[in-house]
Amino acid sequence: MQCLEIDLESPLSNIEWRNLAAVLNEVKGLCWFQILPVGQKCSQPYQFNMIHILPEYKMPVEKLPIDVFIANKMTYRKKMEKR
């Protein structure tokens, strides 16, 4: 899709969200969107906005940074509660 055709508040329709969720559940992966400003192109072959899906078996780390952050925050809170 061209940049001007995407609603930033709801980039996908309900059926598209359900299909995306089904794919992510099947590959147990992550997904992220790339929405670029008007007139900008990415280095990917399609040159415009894209949805990227990373399957679990391709993840470069065992624990993702957000998982580590959440675990550290929970540990910190427990220590603070003990004080």
For the stretch 23-58, pLDDT in tens is 888 888 888 777 666 666 665 555 555 677 788 887
Are 36 and 8 in contact, with CB atoms under 8 Å apart? no
Whole domain around residue 28: which residue ranges? 3-82
Our count of domains for the chain comes to 1
Return the biggest CA–CA distance within the chain.
55
32 strand-pairing partners: 52
Strands (E), the chain: 30-34, 50-54
Query: Alpha-carbon distance 21 to 48, whole Å?
Result: 22
% of the chain beyond a pLDDT of 90: 17
Tokens linked to 62: 């065992």
Please list, in sequence order, all residues whose beta carbon lies within 8 angstroms of the beta carbon of residue 38, skipping any fewer than 6 positions away.
3, 4
Please tell me the predicted confidence (pLDDT) of residue 10.
77
